[in-house]
Structures are given as C-alpha cells and as structure tokens.
Chain A
Amino acid sequence: MTVDTRPINTREDIKLSNAQIAWRAAQDIADGAYVNLGIGFPEMVARYQPPGRQAVFHTENGILNFGEAPAAGQEDWDLINAGKKAVTLKPGAAFFHHADSFAMVRGGHLDIAILGALQVAQNGDLANWRVGSKGVPAVGGAMDLVHGAKQVSVITEHVTKNGEPKLVEKCTFPLTGVACITRVYTSHAVVDVVGGHFVLREKLAGMTVDELQAMTGAQLHIEGPVGDLVVPEL
C-alpha cells in the first residue's frame, strides 16, 4: 500500500469570502429573532438580514436592539457594544445591567448566538478563546454565550491558513464549552451537529463530497439531501 503524501486540495479557488459566510448564516435568522453576534467576524452577519426580516440584536454589555455604528465624530462612548465599538439605537431599544444581560443568555431567552471558532468537534465542543497556555488569557463572555441560546452556530473558514481542519473529532485547543454547537457555516459547507456527529447539509456545488471530507477532520455523515451552498457575489 502506498501512502498519498500529496497535500490536500483545500479548494481555496472556490471558497466563500467571510461576507458570503456571514450572508449564509443571516438567511437562517427569522424575523423578530433575538440574536447575539460574537465580537469580530460574526458581527458581519447583521449586514445581511434578508429584506423584510428584522432581528433584535443583543450585546452582552447591556443593550437590546442596537444598530449600526454612528458616523465618525458622532460616537457616544457610553453607547458601545461588547467589542467596545460605538453603536446606535433602533426604536424599541432597551438598556439593562450585566446580570440581566447574562440571564438573557443562560436563561434560554436568545434564539441564536453566532460565534467564531478555532475548532469545532463532532460532538459540538467549541474551542475559540485561546490557542495555548502562553500569554495573557482572556475569556470575556465566550464561555457564557455558548449556553442557553436555542441555536448556537459557528461561522468559520473550513480549514486554517495552514490547511488544517477546523472541524475535528476532538478539539486540541482549550475548550470554550462542551457539546454546545448546533450548526457550523464554513467557507465550503453547512454542517449540523446531530447526536455526536457532523451531518452535511449543504456544500459548494463546485466540489465533491470526497473533496470536502478530505479537508474535514471528522466523518461527515449524509442523512437526507445535501443542498448546494449558493450565495450571491458580495
């Protein structure tokens, strides 16, 4: 038997941009849903709500129904989001203190939380807060946000910059939460976590299931139809 030592083709040629991954995640947010978007990349999801749908966004420092960033020079530094960026308010906004804010999170009141990831394991374990044990550790609200929302989704590249899988059998980075992720939107696919394994729901039409499997660190199960992952140019 010969071992295939060729590098895995991670299909960089067809992968979705971050904006396109965020767009795809936004299509699953219902009108009126209460949503928390993690700091950084997940914040992009708010830009791509389908016409006619309006989610209510929660930020853990204590605002419901905040909106876009203000124009430069118009910032009010008492009105910021969890990423400490200035925001604005929409009609129907509310302020509350931190204990109430995390009661909304852990108490099951949010419909969807969307987070970034270093690794997601096939049982839904998430690692997204630190790479190793060096430097200054900082967790923020990451370990709280993975508990309580009805759906806890991840948006991520399918593989790291070095081509290593981010969807894995078992996380090697420190865990953020155990068995907490329900859906993963990647640059190449949409994958659900069901009963301790990954179930492929959608993949880019320009690649085969075998190609996708080769760049995934755990078995992708096929249960029912696999749709084409179709997104607009953005």
Chain B
Amino acid sequence: MGRYVIRRLLQALLTLGIVLFLLHYLMALSVQIRGNPALLFFGGDRAPDPAMLEQVERLYGLDSPCYERVGDPCLLPFVDRLQGFAQGDLGTTLNGNRDVAQLLSVYIPNTLRLFVFSVITLVVVSMLLGTWAARHRGRFIDHTVRGTTILADSVPVFLILLTYVYIAAVPLTRWARGIWGSESFMGQVFRPNYNPDYPWTTIIIPGIIVGTVGLATMTRLIRASQLENLGSDFVRTARAKGLKPMRITIVHVIRNSMIPIITGVGFLFAFMLSGAVLTEGVMGIPGMGRMIFQAVQRQEGNLVIVGLTVSAFVVVFVSLVVDLLYAALDPRIRYE
C-alpha cells in the first residue's frame, strides 16, 4: 500500500512538472513568433523608447535574450518562474499591475463553488438514471434514459447556456420574484448572471449546467457496470446466502460499481473545466475559467500560465485521488 501511494505521488509530481514545462515552452514560443507583449504597453504601432521598453521587459520577465530565438526553450526564465511559484510569488498582470495571487484568492472559491454543484449534479443524476436503467434493462425506461442522455450530450453546453440565459432565466426570475420577493433564495436562484451578494445561490444553476457535460457518458458507465455486477457470480452467491436485496445492492453491487464511476468522475473533471470556461464567461462569474479566457484574449502570458497551472494541478490532484480511491476500494490493486 505504502509503495503504491509513493509511486502514484511521484507520478503526479512528474506529470505536473511536464505540464508546467510545456505551458512555459508554448508561451515562450508565442512570444518568439508573435512578438513581444511588452510592446502592448506602448499602444502597439508606435516605436517605444528602447530604454523604457527594456525597463518594461525586465519588469515582466521578458528581458531574457531567449525570447528573440524561435524554438529556444527558455530554461532560465522557466527556473525563475518555478522559484517564484515556490516562494508564493505568482507575478502581476500586464494590465493594471495587479497581484495574481490576490486575483486567484477571489477567483478560485467561485470556481470551486461551481464545481461543487456540477459534481453533485453529475454524480447524483447519473447514479439515479444509470441504476434505474440497469434495473429495467431492455425495457421502455432503459431506452428512454439512454435516448435522453445521448440527446442531452449532443447539445453543446453553450447552447444550453444561451437557451437558459436568453429564454428561460428572465421569465423564471420575474415569476419567482413576484411570489417570494427579489431578496429571497428563489428570487436569486434563477438569475441569468452572477451576483456577488449571493455567491452560493446564483451559482447553483450554472453549476447544474456544467454538470450536464458528462451526464450521458456517466449514466451509461454506471448502467453498464451495474449490469455487469448484477449478473455476476458473486451476486448470485449473495442471493444464495439469503441476504436482503437492499444489502446485496449496497454491499455487493454499488461498491463493485464504484471503480468505473470514480474513473468517470476523474476524466470528466477535465471536460468540466472547459465547460466552466464557457459558463463563467456567459454568466459573468468571476472564476478561473473566465480569468483564463480573458487572459488569453489580452495576451497576459503570466496570467495564462498561472491559470493553466492551477487547472493542471487540479486535474493531476483529482487523478491522484482517483488512484488512491482505487486502492482503497479494490484489494487487488492495493497488493499489486
């Protein structure tokens, strides 16, 4: 068990390191090919004073000569950046010179809230639908569940978002406010945009929308794994032991079905990150997704790297948790 954990930890660290380097390299390439973002400081087409340009470059860590050579991996600035990260210094934004660490302390909690609701939606809805479909295999309910989830999956998130924001949200909000008043939970929950006075309430609906991203995949995964376990020999043994159906489901089916479910949540997490970018953008939630999107638009190299590092860290962390949960659930993995 101990060796397994250590190996997975080292793997996670290695992955994170590779991701960080790739991010840095791509960013360096974009500077090398597209041109120096420090020029933006001077309004673009005017030729700046070389001394001032140099000052700006130094300020944002763009003064290394490697940025002039296309294809140079820029190792020195990479090491500088890692040292900065290690000391908690995440740099500042080009635009407005704001402290990135401080920005993150505002954005990360919002995205976390969004993910709380989307993971709950994903797991609860797909568990219910998948179990329900498995129980009625081959019958009307099964076909309906499978058909509906595929339909939901083939509608892109932004369409669901736009439909909600532009068609459903306004009449729903008006109706709810007419009954419960605008300062109530119901008056806020249907809002088409985020309200910082209600950080939890106004994130529920966007969270549910992000949660629909992996619903079809997850439902089918759960349906398949439950069917496999329901027809398995050890469930037949459990029935032969005279266990109650409820106990068989909880002790002998659900636990055995957990492995594919955990796998599913693990990789859908990465998908949901991209769903979060869209949702935060459309619904005006000041979160990590919107931050990365705007950073790319404004050529904020440092902000892009920090933002993607955070999301890479989250993905690596989630897969580490998934691996550890495997071991906790399945002794065959634990004693490998």
Q: Tell me, yes or no, whether A binds B.
A: no
